[in-house]
Structure 1
Amino acid sequence: MNNLLIYKYFLWVMSYQEISDDFWDLVAPLLERFKRRKPGGSKPLEFRVLLNGIFYLLKTGCQWAFLPSFYGSKSTLHEHFQRWASAGIFAEMFRLGAARYEELQGFKWDWQSMDGSLVQAPTRQSTSLSEEGVGRNPTDRGKSGSKIHLLTDQEGMPCGVALAGANVHDSRLVTATVEGLALSAPKIKPMEERPHLCLDKAYDMKRVEIEVLNHGYTPHIRRIGEEKQHVTQDSHPARRWVVERTFAWLKGFRAIRTRYTCRGANYLALLHLACTLVLTRRLEAIA
């Protein structure tokens, strides 16, 4: 066996370790309606192989043209990804993953964290930058960028995600992120039993505090100029760091770390897939 065959065999073995059986069993029913119904033509690739190819791109950040050939042709993979993304399949995967996590492990809703993270977006410019979630990054000399805005539970498990241009302030994305929850938190009406939402200094505005209260949270906002306090028995420890750790998990997927997709819906689909993988892998780790 020559080196090329060994290399291809290695890639083939590694590829089928990407999507676990549990993950596939969870999402496979969503793809049933996309199966070919009419006979004829070449034999279609299995959807699990195509999803593995999309995962390979998500993990490595490579271009569609450089995906290993055993995943199928570039045009086939990209066509299926576009169809699934347009139909909201990846958002539904996120919802299913969140429902499975809630059933088997349970989100810790009492203390939640929210924050935004900037990513470079060296994509082609269009006339509808705001619609595609692209804007000039004020912290990177005005270069093109996007912002991921994330809501997590007490343990950093992703609950909701929103996409915007890098020029959109974090304080403007609270409602969009809450509305993007994959799974609604339990309804708690009494004021003293409301879940807590931890936010950093970027959200230190009266309108944000009112907005958070209107969404049923007790806000915990780090005030501008406020000195860091030592945690005492009577104080609540800050839990903002968990969302930063979740951003690190998401940016372990190279297609998330730098945005090369032109369409905002496609990048958001990759975000939903990454969040689903974070949830399902946590379940697999504790099983």
Structure 2
Amino acid sequence: MRSPSGRAGRARPVRRVACRRHHRTVINGILFRLRTGVPWRDLPPRFGSWKTVHDRHRRWSADGTWARIFEALQADADMEGRIDWSVVSVDSTSCRAHQDAAGARKRAPRVPRRRRQSVDHRPDEGLGRSRGAFTCKTHLACEGGRRPLAFVITPGQWGDAPQMVEVLRRIRVPRPSAGHPRTRPDHVCGDRAHSSRRNRRYLRRRQIKHTIPEPANQKDNRRRRGSAGGRPTGFDRGAYRRRNEVERTINALKGFRAGATRFEKRAYVFHGTVTVAAIRLWLRS
């Protein structure tokens, strides 16, 4: 047998190069797992290798790819006037952690040096012991259209009031045309768990109107101090009725089973999972 070069001999076999799985197929696998909450190993074969889907989701969570898509969708909606900045509500929800979420190694994820600032890596991995056993908590802010603007992952025993400022600081909607990103809503609404002098001072300094009811113990403490306790806080009943918007946003996020129960060991991977769920809510609108 002659080779293609004309010399006699045995022809070499043609090496087949494995093709790289298309991003569309991988994203469909990520969305399927987000909706159903199945283990990565149980993904249907039509999405390709489960390890490819998992590794690409983990990498996109680490380098900020999901976060940039999330910001791009918000920027397009703001440019079209589809974001209701009149009342932004804040609240939190507890997420039960599966037993597979325990046992993460105490090391930071490997990501490129130029993108390490995008990783939401926590030494405690956002897991803690609370009344609901092994849990984590998602603190979020949503706009009037019942879509999340920003969120923070913390251990389950952390309170709501200390995280309110951090959630509001993460609101950052870019403006593609010109100008700085929008970070300040017109009005902020929260429940009694977010009432603190630090939060009210922060909102007044940024000239943001707010409606946060004052608990009974804080009222008694203010009255006991007399004139040094300050004036009573204002309360807008009409704005407070819109606090159900954040509750409905939480219900929509927990419709994705991979976001209602945490299976990921790493906090930044679970942060990416919640970001994908938020992206789905923005795409639906």
SS in 1 for 2:139: strand
| Match of residue 201 from structure 1 | 192
- When residues 130 and 147 of structure 1 are mapped into structure 2, their CA distance, relative to the original with a 3 A threshold, is farther
Is the counterpart of residue 180 in structure 1 residue 170 in structure 2? yes
- When residues 178 and 72 of structure 1 are mapped into structure 2, their CA distance, relative to the original with a 3 A threshold, is same
Deviates more, 1:91-100 or 1:102-111: 102-111
Is the counterpart of residue 63 in structure 1 residue 39 in structure 2? yes
Looking at CA atoms only, which structure, 1 or 2, has the larger radius of gyration?
Answer: 2
Percent of pairs with identical residues = 25
SS in 1 for 2:198: helix
**Could you report, residue by residue, the CA deviation over 1:168-206 in whole angstroms, capped at 9, with x for unpaired residues?**
111111122122224167477xxxxx7110010101221
| Match of residue 268 from structure 2 | 265
Name the aligned partner's letter for residue 54 of structure 1.
I
| Match of residue 238 from structure 2 | 236
The alpha carbon displacement at 1:211 in A equals: 2.4
| Match of residue 48 from structure 2 | 72
| Match of residue 144 from structure 1 | 134
Is the counterpart of residue 112 in structure 1 residue 88 in structure 2? yes
Q: Is the 8 A contact 1:130 1:164 kept in 2?
A: no
Q: Is the 8 A contact 1:94 1:182 kept in 2?
A: no
Matched residue count: 229
Is the counterpart of residue 246 in structure 1 residue 246 in structure 2? no
Counterpart Cα distance in 2 of 1:187 and 1:74: 38
| Match of residue 281 from structure 2 | 278
Which among 140, 155, 180 is matched to residue 165 of structure 1? 155
Is the counterpart of residue 133 in structure 1 residue 126 in structure 2? yes
| Match of residue 15 from structure 1 | none
- When residues 176 and 235 of structure 1 are mapped into structure 2, their CA distance, relative to the original with a 3 A threshold, is closer
- When residues 65 and 202 of structure 1 are mapped into structure 2, their CA distance, relative to the original with a 3 A threshold, is same
Counterpart Cα distance in 2 of 1:265 and 1:72: 24
The alpha carbon displacement at 1:82 in A equals: 1.7
Aligned CA-pair RMSD: 2.3
SS in 1 for 2:238: coil
TM superposition score normalised by structure 1: 0.74
Name the aligned partner's letter for residue 89 of structure 2.
S
Name the aligned partner's letter for residue 129 of structure 2.
R
Q: Is the 8 A contact 2:89 2:245 kept in 1?
A: yes
SS in 2 for 1:167: coil
Deviates more, 1:236-245 or 1:97-106: 97-106
Counterpart Cα distance in 1 of 2:243 and 2:123: 28
Which among 41, 47, 58 is matched to residue 23 of structure 2? 47
Name the aligned partner's letter for residue 205 of structure 2.
N
Give unpaired runs (5+ residues) of structure 2.
Answer: 1-14, 107-121, 175-180, 218-235
